[in-house]
Structures are given as structure tokens and as C-alpha cells.
Amino acid sequence: MAIVIALAAALGASTAAAAPVIGADRLPDMFVAACLDGTVAMSPGEASRIGVGELPADLRKKLGRPASGNVWRLSTADHSYLYVLNYPPGGPHDTRICGLASEDMRMDSAASAVDLRMNGYVGAEKLSGLQWLMPKDGYVATIARAGRFNVAQINWLSESGRAKIGREVQQVSP
């Protein structure tokens, strides 16, 4: 599944700080659009492309060493990043990770957006970290904390990862 980030203006031309244009309430839907639907549209000034090495150290450490990828700094009141990272086959990470990390994104809102997309409804109770195991669809969706960031992330599984998660799900399924 290709992930398309459609922007009305070229990214990377300007990384100057500007007034925030994306509210924290929009971030969960942006995550779902980018990482589950494969496309997200942003207007000029809403994002600027940066290198993986420009991510904050605590977040970069959690993401390991991707072989390639794209990262956008989002124009929010806090530090927010949208990333699509590719990992070499056979490594410790899954084949691709797509996520959105933000200091201000509410985890319950992110979990509700993912829950609605996965199940068609929003569960009544949200915990501090949630995970949806979707081995048949080839991914694991996670809402969790990483350092100072609230993270919504999709880990696309390798074939061996799909098989492993599939076995784990079968062991706990009735």
C-alpha cells in the first residue's frame, strides 16, 4: 500500500516557524487518513519536510534505524511529526512504520479515531496505551506514549511477523 501525502505547495521550501495552523483535535484524523487510508491532504503551511535525523532524540531512538523514509514537521502549537519509514527486510523492525507523534494529541481521541476506523464504533473505555492486532490485514495499530510524545502508529508486518502475530492471536481467541 503506497502512502500518498498530497500537499498544495512544495514541502521543504520553508521550514520557518509560523503560527500553528493544525489544531490538536485534527491530528487523530490525519493519522487515520495517512496511515490507514494511505492518503492525507494538507494545505500550504501545514507541514514541512524534514530528515529522519531531525526528529527529537527520544522519538528517533524508539523508531530505530530505518533504511529510508519521509518525515514531516506539522504546524501545531507543540512538536508534532508525521512519518513513513521503511526498514530493511529481516531486521528487528517491521517492514514499514507510519505514525504521528505529538506532545499535545490526546491519546483518548487518537484511540477513538482508530477504534472507529477498525470496529465501526468507539469503545466506552480507553486506557493509556492500546493495540489492535490485525495479522490478516498485515499490521498492528498502536496508541502509546514514547517519551514526551503521544504516538499513534501502524507497524506493517513482514510475512514472518504476520505469521507470528497470527499464532499469538489464535492462542488467545476462543
pTM, rounded to two decimals: 0.79
pLDDT in tens, 67-101: 999 999 999 999 999 999 999 887 655 789 999 99
DSSP H or E run through 96: strand 96-102
Residue 170 CA neighbour count, 13 Å, CB half: 8
Alpha carbons 70 and 67: distance in angstroms, whole number: 11
- Concatenating the DSSP letter of every residue in 3-36 gives -EEEESS-SSS--------S-GGGHHHHHIIIII
Checking if the pLDDT of 137 tops 50, the result is yes
pLDDT category of residue 54 using cuts at 50, 70 and 90: very high
Look at residues 92, 52, 94 and name the one whose alpha carbon lies nearest to residue 73.
Answer: 52
